[in-house]
Structure 1
Amino acid sequence: MVTVRAAAKRGYFENSWLQSYHSFSFGDYYDEMQMGYSLLRVMNEDVIAPASGFPTHGHQNMEIVTYLLSGSLEHKDSMGNGSTIYPGEVQRMSAGRGVTHSEYNPSTTDETHLLQIWLLPNQRNIEPGYEQKRFEDEGRNHRWQLLASPTGEEGAVTIYSDTLLYAALLDPKRVLDYSFASDRVGYLQLASGELIVNGEALSAGDGARLSAGERLQLQGGGERAELLLFDLPQ
């Protein structure tokens, strides 16, 4: 079964420099029916104004993945990492027993648009860790590109969570399939464009919960679709 999470029904927070849409309960937004799905705890779509960002703050025992859609993001953390992330790159931070970091839009003219994802870990209180990799568009044109996995195969970043994270780019009318094992569920997030999922039409910002054993047929809609797919334990 495909259960659509409409973009318009997400939680929303706004201040002078941030617009943030929450697919699941986060911050001041609480919905007892939207507490995450399997190991996926947070799916936030953030738009950060120029020369602004998140000041230093802390996390514990969470796998945090950042996926850039446009603009750039400057990252600094208590592990000594300092880098800038661009579209096509994926950042993984394992908070483990505790880490602090800041995230900042270094541009004075352009907004930063990103998805921030939190996954529950398979180990608690591990040594904090950081990884950043670039993935070329050619690797996900009309096919699945593995971005993150527990073993880091196929050039993916390594996450301490029983999760496979894929990305795909799908042009109008192009078709892509995926089948979940009988003990695995899924979540799909449409970052941009339009998509038809087993007959259900999705627009940018929509998500969908996917039942165990689901067989997906995806078809590109009127605009090129950029999507993320999570393969998760039931």
Structure 2
Amino acid sequence: MKKIIHRAADRGIQDHGWLKAAHSFSFANYFDPAKTHFGLLRVLNDDIIAPGMGFGTHGHDNMEIVTIPLKGALAHKDSLGSIGNITAGEVQIMSAGKGIQHSEFNGSSTQPVNLLQIWVFPKERNIQPRYDQMKYDINSNQNTFLTLVSPKAAPGVMWINQDAFFSIGKFDAGREANYTIQNPGNGAYVFMIEGSAKIDGALLLKRDAIGVYDTESFEIEIMENSQVLIIEVPMQ
């Protein structure tokens, strides 16, 4: 098994006042030639948006965009006619395809919103743009991973235009979790949303990440109560 570790403190930190962003990979004004992507995972932004603030209408194309709110609510509007709020406990997918315009704002006038925005290179280019969102109950699967996104839709799972899988789970201290690569040859980017864990001897703290590849499975030793996100993607 090969691995690469990304520490939370080494992320690209941007403070725009209304937006505080931590970039795991090169993005906007932050550039690190050693951190441009992990396989086909291109972006993992950990954003905190001030009350009533957000991103005005802007465009994307040929990117799979997954948004996971951790706290608060995000108001979304796009050129497909989708309008609504995305809250913690929901996940949103946009297949930008041949082009989509959208805006995102903090839906609260008093509370900040914290979200993860993740970009994955698509499998097929210039498809029809697509929007979807789904509720999930992470507490119903304590100490196991819950698959949120896969290449094929299934009950409780949304599909993405790539051979990629997103899985999330809450784990109690002292437990061990095994993750098996679902598409042979893929790698897995493990992001510690909360807590701490060890993978292949490496200790990961809150917001640390490790990318593992050239393996069929790996063990996660949970050191304290934790919430873990795994983004499994093709490596090329």
Partner AA of 1:112 in structure 2:
V
Partners in 1 of 2:28 and 2:216 — Cα distance?
31
Q: In the alignment, what sits opposite 1:173?
A: 174
Q: CA deviation at 1:190?
A: 1.0
SS in 2 for 1:29: coil
Partners in 2 of 1:8 and 1:20 — Cα distance?
12
Partners in 2 of 1:39 and 1:140 — Cα distance?
28
Deviates more, 1:67-76 or 1:132-141: 132-141
Does residue 213 (structure 1) correspond to residue 202 (structure 2)? The answer is no
Q: In the alignment, what sits opposite 1:24?
A: 25
Partners in 2 of 1:209 and 1:137 — Cα distance?
23
SS in 1 for 2:56: strand
Partners in 2 of 1:146 and 1:65 — Cα distance?
13
Partners in 2 of 1:213 and 1:26 — Cα distance?
28
Tell me the percent identity.
37
Contact 2:139 2:170 in 1 (8 A): no
Q: In the alignment, what sits opposite 2:187?
A: 185
TM-score by length of 2: 0.94
SS in 1 for 2:203: strand
Contact 1:50 1:108 in 2 (8 A): yes
Residues 166-207 of structure 1, C-alpha deviations (whole Å, 9 max, x = no match): 111111111110133652211111112222222211111111
Q: In the alignment, what sits opposite 1:90?
A: 91
The residue correspondences of 1:77-116 to structure 2 (distance < 5 A) are 77-116=78-117
Partners in 1 of 2:100 and 2:231 — Cα distance?
25
Partner AA of 1:192 in structure 2:
E
Contact 1:66 1:90 in 2 (8 A): yes
**Which residue among 184, 201, 204 is the counterpart of 1:199?**
201
Contact 2:176 2:222 in 1 (8 A): yes
RMSD, aligned α-carbons: 1.3
Structure 1 stretches of 4+ with a deviation exceeding 3 A read none
Contact 1:170 1:219 in 2 (8 A): no
Q: CA deviation at 1:214?
A: 4.9
Unaligned runs of 5+ in 2: none
Partner AA of 1:81 in structure 2:
S
Contact 2:166 2:231 in 1 (8 A): yes
Residues 85-111 of structure 1, C-alpha deviations (whole Å, 9 max, x = no match): 111100001101111111111212111
Contact 1:146 1:154 in 2 (8 A): no
Partners in 2 of 1:196 and 1:53 — Cα distance?
36
Partner AA of 1:118 in structure 2:
W
Q: In the alignment, what sits opposite 1:142?
A: 143
SS in 2 for 1:133: strand
Partners in 2 of 1:107 and 1:101 — Cα distance?
18
Residues 154-173 of structure 1, C-alpha deviations (whole Å, 9 max, x = no match): 42111101101111111111
Residues 65-84 of structure 1, C-alpha deviations (whole Å, 9 max, x = no match): 00011011000001100010
Contact 1:61 1:97 in 2 (8 A): yes
